Structure 1
Amino acid sequence: MTQEYTAESRVDGAEDNNPPTGRFRTFVDRWRGDRGIWRRGVVLAALAVLTALVMILHAQIPNRIGNLGSLMETFLPWLGLLVPVILVAALVRRSATALIALLLPAVVWVNLFGGLILDKSGGGGDLMVATHNVNAENPDPEGTAREIVESGADVVALEELKASAVPTYEKALAATYKYHSVQGTVGLWSKYPMTGSRSVDIRMGWTRAMRATVTTPRGEVAVYVAHLPSVRVKLHAGFTANQRDNSADALGEAIADEDIRRVVLLGDLNGTMNDRSLNAVTSQMRSTQGAAGDGYGFSWPAAFPMARIDQIMVKGVEPMSSWTLPRTGSDHLPIAARIELSD
Structure 2
Amino acid sequence: MSAPRRERSPRARGPWVLVSSAVLVAGLLAFHPAVPNAVGNVGSLLETFLAWLGLVVVALLVLAALRRSAIAVAAVALPAVVWVVVFGASVFSGSGIAGVREQASVLTVLQHNVADDNADPGGTARALAGAGADLVALQELTPQALPVYEAALAPEHPHRLVVGTVGLWSRYPLTDGRPVDIKPKDITADWNRGLRATVRTPAGDIAAYVAHLPSVRIRPQDGFGTAWRDESAAALATALDAEKLERVVLLGDLNGTVHDRGLSPLTSRLTPALDGFGFTWPAAFPLARIDHVMARGATPTGTWVLPATGSDHLPTVARLR
3-state SS of 1:151 partner? coil
Q: Which amino acid aligns with 2:135?
A: V
- Name the larger-Rg structure: 1
Residue number among 176, 180, 195 corresponding to 2:175 in the alignment: 195
- The residue number in structure 2 matching 1:127 is 107
Distance, in Å, in 2 between the alignment partners of 1:153 and 1:107 is 37
Note the alpha carbon deviations across 1:49-95, whole angstroms, 9 max, x for none.
Answer: 11111111100001111111111001101101112211222233343
Is residue 133 of structure 2 the alignment partner of residue 153 of structure 1? yes
- Aligned partner (choices 258, 261, 274) of residue 276 of structure 1: 261
Number of the residue aligned with 1:318: 299
1:124 and 1:338 in contact (8 A); partners too = no
Structure 1 alignment gaps of length 5 or more: 1-35
Distance 1:178 1:103 in 2: 53
Q: How far has the Cα of 1:298 moved from its partner? A: 1.0
**For residue 302 of structure 1, what is the aligned residue in structure 2?**
283
In the alignment, the residues of structure 2 paired with residue 209 and residue 100 of structure 1 have an alpha-carbon distance, to the nearest angstrom, of 49
* Segments of 4+ moved more than 6 angstroms: none
CA distance, structure 2, for counterparts of residue 225 and residue 304 of structure 1? 25
Matched, 1:267 2:241: no
Distance 1:339 1:323 in 2: 13
User: Which structure has more helix as a fraction of its residues?
Assistant: 1
Pick aligned residue for 1:49 from 15, 23, 27: 23
> Aligned partners of 1:140 and 1:77: how far apart in 2?
32
- Compare 218-227 and 169-178 and name the one that shifted more: 169-178
Query: Cα deviations across residues 189-226 of structure 1 (Å, max 9, x unaligned)?
Result: 01111111111111234101110111111111100000
| Mapped pair 1:92 → 2:63 | no
Instruction: Give the Cα separation in 1 of the matches to 2:134 and 2:61.
Output: 47
Secondary structure of residue in 2 paired with 1:161: coil
Instruction: Identify the match of residue 140 of structure 1 among 106, 116, 120.
Output: 120
CA distance in 1, matches of 2:289, 2:58: 23
- Which residue does the alignment assign to 2:211? 226
SS in 2 for 1:163: coil
Residue 240 of structure 1 is matched in structure 2 by 225
Partner residue of 1:328? 309
Q: CA deviation at 1:96?
A: 3.3
SS for the counterpart of 1:225 is strand
SS in 1 for 2:286: coil
Aligned pair 1:213/2:198, yes or no? yes
Deviations 1:12-40 (Å, cap 9, x if unpaired)?
xxxxxxxxxxxxxxxxxxxxxxxx98754
Deviations 1:219-247, CA, capped at 9 Å, x for gaps: 11100000000001122211000000000
| Equivalent residue number for residue 59 of structure 1 | 33
Alpha-carbon separation, structure 1, partners of 2:273 and 2:283: 20
Structure-2 separation of matches of 1:214 and 1:143? 27
Corresponding residue pairs, total: 302
Compute the RMSD of aligned alpha carbons.
Answer: 1.7
TM-score (norm 1): 0.85
For 1:320 and 1:94, locate their aligned partners in 2 and report how far apart those are by CA, in whole Å: 43
What code does the residue aligned with 2:19 have?
A: A
5+ residue gaps, structure 2: 1-9
The answer to whether the 8 Å contact 1:38/1:95 transfers is no
Worse overlay, 168-177 or 241-250: 168-177
Match of 1:23 in 2: none
In the other structure, the counterpart of 2:240 is: 255
Q: Secondary structure, in 3 states, of the residue corresponding to 2:144?
A: helix
